[in-house]
Structure 1
């Protein structure tokens, strides 16, 4: 099977790429000529790569038969991205990719819809991101009579090699650097934190099961266990304190909740569990792994 992977230089995409290659999939990736390849430089020679800012999006489909597209590229609104840039990536580019895959008779299009509501550093872009993603899902449904679509709605994934702007990485680094204090909300909002390896396992399972899916399928991807943000942060603090002295003061309640803050997440992981998947990495083990990677 030949897979076209977008977002291969990003957090999720890079972890997916490494695992797909381990399993001997043929992988074609789309990136930009300016993309930072530090996450995948060790395996770049093993894939066929196209710089999408230099070649037409049809080129990889013309050069080889693409059996499935795994679409992970996302613009959250970092680096002062304009609304038009967010929409251009999350909707217009995605729609062009979907349209092209359909034209070339690709069998399955796996779409990624990530949840990052804990990420206070990006909150002002949440509505722009969410709207662009919701609009693309409507197009996925529209095209699903011509190409099989699987939409994966990811809960709060975390793990090694994530961006420093992501909440889990950021708060971990604040404590590892032993900053004087960190202002936080009260922290009783609940989130479903899922380790990156477990997320990758979901994609691999979806590839294996793709033939049984209907025209449009959608899955919530999470552990099914929600934890208060305060408890999650304190678990990180506890693990760091086992390794090095830490005196960072965590000022829970110093910041107000955002307007419209979700205190719990609505998710239904039963359809995913029914396919035979279950998370393997506990929160405690996941935290140990991200700390280990951060101090190396």
Structure 2
């Protein structure tokens, strides 16, 4: 067992998945700044470039080389699990891959957390309807298990329905990053009509919400609680793309209507912030300001 020193009661030891990804890496840095202790789960071949400058401050376990329960055995306590790892299905993965990554793996992690008396499991969820695609279905299936186990008194389960986040350093598989990159480098872009509305939230607002939830977790009395996380202001896709074009100074030709809507396309998604605002959180970064902070990174790192 790892020896531990006495820590302040508001400082926690947190086990995090997805730490080498966009969201996870920002959460790692935020929680370290807040004085928490971080343990991460990754693969031995994971690219750690996002964490290179703080790697010495993190305890890391390679899931392909060790048992999932090892970190729980190694430490006298883990206060919380924050699960951000996911597979979106954008790289032609089989539906079984999505089920394994988004349902089975977090179920094993949740079981280990329960077994070793972790008080709280934070789950990063999607607002998409489960009927839209296998990604949304696999996320919903795990959420339902988490809710059920929480209501049976096994663990506190905090479900965070995260809208469209964006910020410096995200990859092109995410729509905001894809649009920014295209506006900076392509002569034209084929799109749907763009009538669907989405809620875009800057990564700094996202991590402030995660930090606050961890800080105030002792005040969350219900075994299962759900928080919608976004800016609370939806904008049409066509207006979003036009705004990115304007801010990048691009001459790109936008071909709205060249791509059909997905079957079952969600036409409106906007976070209801009442629950988070009740804890004292609010979105601080307006969309245009957030894009102005984000676009220079893509200009400097354009491929």
TM-score, normalised to structure 1, is 0.92
Q: Give the number of aligned pairs.
A: 284
CA-to-partner distance for each residue in 1:165-222, whole Å, 9 max, x for gaps?
Answer: 2111111111111x22111112121110011110101111101111122100001111
Q: Is the 8 A contact 1:76 1:126 kept in 2?
A: no
State how far apart, in whole Å, the 1-side matches of 2:295 and 2:189 are.
18
1:78-227 counterparts in 2 under 5 A? 78-115=90-127, 127-144=133-150, 145-177=153-185, 179-213=186-220, 214-227=222-235
1:116 to 1:156, Cα distance in 2 relative to 1, 3 A: farther
Does the residue aligned with 1:29 lie in a helix, a strand or coil? strand
**Cα deviations by residue, 1:218-267 (Å, 9 ceiling, x for unpaired):** 011111111111111111111111xxxx3211112222222222221264
Q: Quote the RMSD (CA, aligned, Å).
A: 1.5
Give the corresponding residue for 1:278. Answer: 282
- Name 1:25's counterpart in structure 2: 36
State the secondary structure of the residue aligned to 2:216: helix
Flag the 1:225–1:198 CA change in 2: closer, same or farther, 3 A.
Answer: same
- Would you identify which runs of 4 or more consecutive aligned residues in structure 1 move more than 6 Å? none
Question: Aligned partners of 2:203 and 2:264: how far apart in 1?
Answer: 27
User: Are the aligned partners of 1:114 and 1:156 in contact in 2 as well (CA < 8 Å)?
Assistant: no
Shift of 1:115: 4.7
In structure 1, what is the Cα distance between the partners aligned to 2:259 and 2:156?
44
State the TM-score, normalized to the length of structure 2. Answer: 0.90
- Give the secondary-structure state (helix, strand or coil) at the position aligned to 2:146: helix
Structure 1 portions without partners, runs of 5+ = 118-124
Whole-angstrom CA distance in 2 between matches of 1:254 and 1:85: 30
SS of residue matched to 1:102 = helix
Corresponding position of 1:269: 273
Distance, in Å, in 2 between the alignment partners of 1:185 and 1:130 is 21
CA distance in 1, matches of 2:128, 2:245: 21
* Secondary structure of residue in 2 paired with 1:5: strand
CA distance in 2, matches of 1:164, 1:254: 20
- SS class of match (1:186): coil
CA offsets, 1:26-51, max 9 Å, x none? Answer: 00000000111111111111110000
Distance 1:176 1:87 in 2: 35
For structure 2, which runs of at least 5 residues remain unmatched after alignment? 1-11
How far apart in 1 are the matches of 2:29 and 2:206? 13
Residue number among 62, 69, 74 corresponding to 2:86 in the alignment: 74
Moved more, 191-200 or 163-172: 163-172
Instruction: Please identify, of 43-52 and 135-144, the stretch whose mean Cα deviation from structure 2 is larger.
Output: 135-144
Cα distance, 1:126 vs structure 2: 5.4
Match of 1:50 in 2: 61
